[in-house]
Amino acid sequence: MGTLAFLGPKGTFTQRAAYLYMEEFRDESFRGVEYPSIPELISAVDRGEAEQGVVPIENSQEGSINVTLDMLTHQVDLYIQFEIILPIVHNLLVSHGTTMNDITKILSHPQAIAQCRSFLERNLKGVEIHYTLSTAEAAKRVVGTSDSAAISTVEAAQAFGLRVLKKNIHDNGYNSTRFVVLGKEIPPPTGRDKSSIVFMVDHRPGSLYKILEIFARFNINLTKIESRPAKTMLGQYLFYIDFEGHRQQDIIRRILETISNSAMYYKYLGSYPYKSYGHRDICPSPV
């Protein structure tokens, strides 16, 4: 029986992504297993404790999930095997009987807090903010309280017997998150694939341009480019690039070989198919 790790407890957006992936691309023998944090989840896949794992990697409003990128770069040897894009809808959850006037504490994951910043400023200015490892953990901790609220999912409300006090409290109506499935194998090309790499170039004029020019020369579309501190010394940066294509294509293989030979540091993160879900595509996750 195969296992797919997801960020728990029940009711997280990561669980929703995991179940959509299993329903469409895995047989009935596959089962989901929850982990309390992203680092523990990724480490479990790296150890072979779970066959695959689903983690968030980027939000349309708040950007990259740093812990995911850092672990893929520095700590594990795993590949991105699939990408799932989900719309993100945040709700304000409370115990039954709690009103807006009762709330003195807000609990949620830092990304969710950031994605609802305007709502909190308008409606709950000055309340205490408590960060949790997941939105569902926030919901779990609100159970039985009379002065606390969680920013979380409808599934978490169902799982923990909470009331949805306010719906759709996120600031951006087009809020969405990229989730990736991680594993130890590289999936075969499907004809609709993306690839991801991370690299570092030396501090000389034109070094980065020479890398990017290769993609333009071969008419390869970049879907993301981002720089992050290399965690060595101030002023050294890693560059993350996502682009269309699969490593098994001749042109992509030649591009990657060129970058690998010219970069100070290079790591291939995977080639993978992707799917984007809309609101009407999503059924509630089992709780």
149 close to 91: Cβ distance less than 8 angstroms:
no
113 close to 151: Cβ distance less than 8 angstroms:
yes
Helix (H) or strand (E) segment spanning residue 58: strand 52-59
145 close to 188: Cβ distance less than 8 angstroms:
no
How far apart are the C-alpha atoms of 241 and 248, rounded to whole Å? 17
Instruction: Spell out the residues 6+ positions from residue 283 whose beta carbon is closer than 8 angstroms to its own.
Output: none
Amino acid in position 230:
A
Amino acid in position 236:
Q
Q: Which tokens in the block code for residue 94?
A: 């409370």
CA angle 145, 151, 152 (to 5 degrees): 100
Quick one: how far is CA 228 from the chain centroid?
A: 17
End-to-end CA distance of the chain: 21
With H, G, I as helix, E, B as strand and everything else as coil, classify residue 237. strand
Active-site residue list: 177, 179
Report the greatest alpha carbon distance in the chain. 63
